[in-house]
Structure 1
Amino acid sequence: MLRPSLLALVIASLLAGCGKPPEGDKKATPASAAASAPALLVAPEDVQTLGVSEYASGPVITGSIQPERRADLRAELQAIVLQVYKENGERVKRGDLLVRLDDTAIRDTVQSADETARAASQSFDQAERQYQRLKTLQAQGMSSIQAMEDAEIRRNNAQSDLVAARARAATARQQQQRTEVRAPFDGVVSDRKVSPGDSAQLGKELIKVMDPASMRFEGLVSADRMSELKLAQTVFFRVNGYPQVDFQGKVRRIAQAANASTRQVEVLVDFAGQQQPGVAGLYAEGRVQTTSVSALMVADGALQREGDKAYVWRVDGGKVTKTAVRLGARDDRQGLYVVTDGLKQNDRILRHPTSTLIDGQKVELSKAAVPARGGAGSKSAAPGFSTPAASAASGI
């Protein structure tokens, strides 16, 4: 009995003698590979027919989402923090107590000022009565004019002392009120800076409050494109953290001075509509719509890239062809690229090609399945899906 290696050698020799190369030496060409590959079964919704689309063209704008109404509440006197009543993210109403500072020393000042004002008030009342008495006596000729004038001077001095004492008492009470930090408007606490026991120096940040209903897009535009900007222009942009939402706004204000370090111009954009992010500080990027351009456009998902080259799979004549395309500008709002070369209007391409496709492979379009009319338990093939065997062959 021949050994396996010797048997293989004999078979190879016989094949060589017959002029036929072994099967392992045959090299499959791309055309033969496409001809031997099974036909793709593609749903109609997986094929896109290209047409002319409109896209926004204009300067790019980048920045962040910030509230228009925001307040950094700081200490107006030096004191110890006794209590913080609100945490980050809690909603507040106008006048709500947020932070309380120690007012022990100020209470003594208020009490002393009130006592001084009370004594000054009594002195003024006494001086007023004395003046009125001498005025009556002088009218009857029972007192000299000099005595009445002296009483009037004493009355006026007592009145001045009373006004000064009341002012000091009001200042002391105002200082006491500053130990209670209250919300200036309805909103939420965005940043708590202190805790009970902290020493609050004059001007120290205590807590921040913002109004989430007053969000706006504070963006920057390159100074090279500022000549294209106008008030009330439409802005389309995306916000980090909201990947599935396309936001739209209007230019409200354009700064008249460029940033000294970046040489960019600040642009304020108001949200159009009710929907807006509820979180401040999120990064945003978009485009100011200065002009509208018509062009052929393809989605990013329909492109396959090899280095710096881009390709699409065109459906034509019952087969798919790998077609090189040249791309232009990108519409960030729609996620579409402008096609400047390689395709023409009414060309059909695959929306989501895979790496298993073969150039020249045959393709068949399936018909959308019609749902069966029956009971709740009846099942039908979902439109856009091929049979398991065809799906495995096409990779879609």
Structure 2
Amino acid sequence: MLRKTLLVLAIASALAACGKSDKEPAKPATATAQADAKKDGKPVQLLVQPEDVLTVQSNALASGPVITGSIQPERKADLRAEVSAVVLQVLKENGEPVKRGDVLVKLDETSIRDSLMSAEASVRAADQAFEQSTRALDRLKTLRASGMTSAQALDDAEVRRNTAQSEVSAARSRLAAARQQVGRTVVRAPFDGIVSDRKVSAGDTAAIGKELLKVIDPTSMRYEGRVSADKISTVKVGQRVSYRINGYGDRQFTGVVKRIDPAANEVTRQVEVLVGLTGEQPRVSGLYAEGRIDAETSSVLMVPESALVKSGDHTYAWKIGAGGKSLVKADLGIGARDQRTGAYEVKSGLAAGDLVLRAPNSSLKDGQAIVMAAPKAQAQALASVGNPGAQGK
């Protein structure tokens, strides 16, 4: 009984092995050849698609001095207290938009209101004294015409009238100043913008000159950069500027040189250059920015960074050899990097029209055999010719 059971199991195992061998496809000869080539240390033949290569060609390389600085609004206002008073209310917070004339801060006007009432009373008293002195002068003129008063009395009355008139003018000036002081207890937005920095809260004591808050116009951003003094001779108004802003990743911004400061900084020996923004503008001020002024443009061979391989101090690229049958390791002389595209200038090692791998990997070898795949359109056309029935499907 045991012998029969073992015999049945052996037969079942043999049938399962046969079925498995029938289901598994045979390995292609190319895979076997590649495996043998790897064992022997020979370069493996590589299939290269048209999209895997690029043609080296000349492009415009813009070069110029480096510019560093920050993004700042052209229209900004530091609103400060013009009277000494206690802060009653702050109506806007950081980041809130404001319109011109909107009330931002209210200060206590109690003591200033008392000064205004005193000035108004002084104006009324001065007006009354002026009216009385005018009537007295008119009476003395009548009496003088009839010879009933002296010329000295008339002169004295005229002096008193002039003095009263001066007092009226002085009182009205004090009244205007008092009204102006009362108006200064209400701080308003000078233009449309955004509150960028709130400095006080309700209950704070605002002395004269104390900063209350800042308002900026986010639509008036500009790049306030600095250029080394030894490079300033190449900078001209109207030149294009390409730069990146800290906080915006790899996004590229552009601008135009608007103004060059006529004096260098005494400490850093750098010259300030104002750049007007073009295209998309950042909405946050104070961010650090760094870029390059396109002072000169030349036509040079350019290769994207993805096609370059760096090994220590050497840089090379994988070039398609003559006839398109093998790879050639081309040692390169690299120049400046184009800030706009990220491509590098190739000074030596490649020529215009050479084909290089767009994104090589680390397993490639010099002299490795390759097969250039036909373009997809050509491959489809060849397939349709070889199989006419496929066209009707």
Q: Establish whether TM, by shorter chain, passes 0.5.
A: yes
Contact 1:296 1:345 (C-alpha < 8 Å) held by counterparts: yes
Q: Compute the displacement of 1:194 (Å).
A: 1.2
CA deviation profile, 1:40-85 (whole Å, cap 9, x unmatched):
342x333210111111111111111111111111122222211111
Equivalent of 1:119, from 120, 125, 143? 125
Contact 1:93 1:187 (C-alpha < 8 Å) held by counterparts: yes
Work out the CA distance in 2 between the residues paired with 1:323 and 1:70: 55
- What SS does the aligned partner of 1:242 have? coil
Alignment of 1:178-217 (within 5 A): 178-217=184-223
Q: Does 1:282 align with 2:287?
A: yes
Partner of 1:303: 308
Q: Does 1:362 align with 2:370?
A: yes
Percent of aligned pairs with the same amino acid = 55
Partner of 2:332: 325
Q: Compute the displacement of 1:269 (Å).
A: 1.3
Partner of 1:12: none
Q: Does 1:292 align with 2:300?
A: no
CA deviation profile, 1:91-127 (whole Å, cap 9, x unmatched):
1111111111111111111111111111111111121
Work out the CA distance in 2 between the residues paired with 1:114 and 1:216: 48
Partner of 1:136: 142
Please identify, of 361-370 and 126-135, the stretch whose mean Cα deviation from structure 2 is larger.
361-370
Partner of 1:264: 270
- What SS does the aligned partner of 1:120 have? helix
CA deviation profile, 1:25-51 (whole Å, cap 9, x unmatched):
xxx99895454x353342x33321011
Rate the CA distance shift 1:369–1:181 in 2: closer, same or farther, 3 A: farther
Q: Which one has the largest radius of gyration?
A: 2
Partner of 1:87: 93
Rate the CA distance shift 1:172–1:312 in 2: closer, same or farther, 3 A: same
Rate the CA distance shift 1:342–1:156 in 2: closer, same or farther, 3 A: same
CA RMSD of aligned residues (A): 2.4
List structure 1 segments (4+ residues) > 4 angstroms apart after TM superposition: 28-34
Work out the CA distance in 2 between the residues paired with 1:31 and 1:233: 59
Equivalent of 2:68, from 62, 79, 103? 62
Rate the CA distance shift 1:367–1:153 in 2: closer, same or farther, 3 A: same
Normalised TM-score (structure 1): 0.80
Q: Compute the displacement of 1:149 (Å).
A: 1.7
CA deviation profile, 1:125-169 (whole Å, cap 9, x unmatched):
121122122223323434332222222111111111111111112
Equivalent of 2:46, from 27, 39, 48? 39
Partner of 1:351: 358
Letter in 2 for 1:80: V
Work out the CA distance in 1 between the residues paired with 2:374 and 2:246: 39
Rate the CA distance shift 1:58–1:203 in 2: closer, same or farther, 3 A: same
Alignment of 1:48-59 (within 5 A): 48-59=54-65
Q: Compute the displacement of 1:323 (Å).
A: 2.6
Equivalent of 1:156, from 162, 177, 193? 162
Rate the CA distance shift 1:116–1:369 in 2: closer, same or farther, 3 A: farther
Partner of 1:225: 231
Work out the CA distance in 2 between the residues paired with 1:70 and 1:115: 40
Work out the CA distance in 1 between the residues paired with 2:286 and 2:42: 53
| Structure 1 unmatched runs, 5+ | 1-27, 373-396
Contact 2:48 2:370 (C-alpha < 8 Å) held by counterparts: no
Contact 2:291 2:339 (C-alpha < 8 Å) held by counterparts: yes
Work out the CA distance in 2 between the residues paired with 1:333 and 1:46: 23
Equivalent of 1:313, from 310, 318, 326? 318
Contact 1:286 1:333 (C-alpha < 8 Å) held by counterparts: no
Q: Compute the displacement of 1:225 (Å).
A: 0.9
Work out the CA distance in 1 between the residues paired with 2:233 and 2:329: 42
Q: Compute the displacement of 1:237 (Å).
A: 2.0
**Whose helix proportion is higher, 1 or 2?**
2
| Structure 2 unmatched runs, 5+ | 1-35, 381-393
Letter in 2 for 1:218: E
Normalised TM-score (structure 2): 0.80
Partner of 2:180: 174
- What SS does the aligned partner of 2:224 have? strand
- What SS does the aligned partner of 2:329 have? strand
